[in-house]
Amino acid sequence: MGAAGTITIPEGQNEAVIPVNAGGNAETRSWKLVVNGSSSIPTGPVMVSSQLFNLAVAAPFVGLQFQNTTVEQGKETDLLVKVSKLVDFAGEAKVALVGLPNKAVTDEKSITKDTPEVVFHIKTAPETPAGNHASLFCRVVVTQNDEPITHNIGTGALRVDVPIPPKANAPAPAPMPQPAAQPAPAAAPPKPLSRLEKTPARTTR
């Protein structure tokens, strides 16, 4: 376990937040802790201490499994993260993907205890550094008793490739074949004359 070495309470304030981290191998039980403080006054330093208090180290609420993905610079891709519930929790938890390379962005997601997976849609820019960025992790914030409990769970990888340039002397694509010209339809044979049409016309006075 670890905590910030030193924090400062500004003048006129009477509280501060001390971040405390527990590693994956921290023993899950209740620990007795104390906070010490000091300040300088004209007559010398003054030392104060809090009462002992309990800090419970518990199992994480969720486990995550990353499906690594690949994208070309300037393109977009999806990164799938499977969620396994380890401890029930109420409401929604916020999930943010952390550790993306420069100029790569995605949106924060929400999950519940019944969410099986989340998909982060990642957008890169042409300037996003190429390479295998293998330090991705998710920051999961579960709120319990009106207090945020933050999990940092990893790790995943995003490989960014340089687009393959087109070949300089690539032959032009063959033209599409045109349909063969159809011959004009033959003229219909002349209709035979009827018997009446064959009889010469007669005139009378």
pLDDT value for 175: 77
Backbone angles phi, psi at 151, to 5 degrees: -110, 135
Least reliable range by pLDDT among 39-43, 102-106, 194-198: 194-198
Domains and CATH numbers, the chain: 62-161 (2.60.40.10)
103: left (phi over 0), alpha (psi -120 to 50) or beta: left
Give the bridge partners for 9, in sequence order.
none
pLDDT value for 49: 93
The residue with greater pLDDT, 117 or 193, is 117
State the pLDDT confidence band at 186, using cuts at 50, 70 and 90: low
pLDDT value for 126: 96
Decide if pLDDT at 62 tops 80. Answer: yes
Tell me which DSSP letter residue 105 carries.
B
Q: Is the pTM of this model over 0.95?
A: no
Residue 25 CB-density burial (10 A; 0-12 exposed, 13-18 middle, 19+ buried): exposed
At residue 17, the 3 state secondary structure works out as coil
Decide if pLDDT at 159 tops 50. Answer: yes
pLDDT value for 3: 86
Average pLDDT over residues 83-94: 95
Least reliable range by pLDDT among 11-15, 147-151, 198-202: 198-202
pLDDT value for 204: 47
Torsion angle in degrees (nearest 10) through CA of 117, 121, 122, 123: 180
